[in-house]
Amino acid sequence: MTDAMHRILLVEDDLAICEVLQGLFESNGFRVAALGTCRQAITYAQQQRPDACIVDLGLPDMDGLHFIQQVRTWSAVPIVVLTARTQEPQRLAAFEAGADDYILKPFSGLELIARVRAITRSLMRRGQPEALLRLAGWKSTWRSG
């Protein structure tokens, strides 16, 4: 699966950040849907099933933690938090809600792409059956010690 096949849901109310990230991800082969409210994002995620989500915690209609909690009731989609909230209790709450990664603003766009690629690679590995090797007529003896 290539990056071009990966659909990213970006949940961010800052239009400037949305435009920069959307351009950056799309120029790196991802497809991006950018939404500015938690309610819109939950509906989109239920209907479209993105491959990964990037969510800000400070959204205008409700806290981004609500998005994470709601999505976790029906999906294991990777969720990366991208926020200005720096306090440890806030980070821990996001992980407890089900976030897979937590990135602080200001951030490196290239690092964010690298982290999303790592998460989607992991997703690909989980979705593939494990290889099974059979050797005809082969016996194994295992000795302890």
pLDDT in tens, 34-89: 999 999 999 999 999 999 999 999 999 999 999 999 999 999 999 999 999 999 99
Structural domain contains residue 137: no
C-alpha span between 43 and 91 (Å, rounded) = 25
Structural domain contains residue 52: yes
DSSP state of 73: T
The Cα-based distances of 19 to 35, 127, 134 in angstroms read: 11, 31, 51
C-alpha span between 13 and 31 (Å, rounded) = 19
Q: What's the domain count of the chain?
A: 1
CATH number of residue 19's parent domain: 3.40.50.2300
Rounded mean pLDDT, 29-36: 96
Is the confidence at residue 16, as pLDDT, over 80? Answer: yes
Structural domain contains residue 143: no
How much is the pTM? 0.82
**If we measure between CA atoms, which residue out of 119, 91, 117 comes closest to residue 104?**
91
108 lies in which domain range?
A: 3-126
| Position with higher pLDDT, 48 vs 145 | 48
Structural domain contains residue 135: no
77: CB partners within 8 A, 6+ apart = 45, 49, 50, 51, 52, 53, 71
Structural domain contains residue 131: no
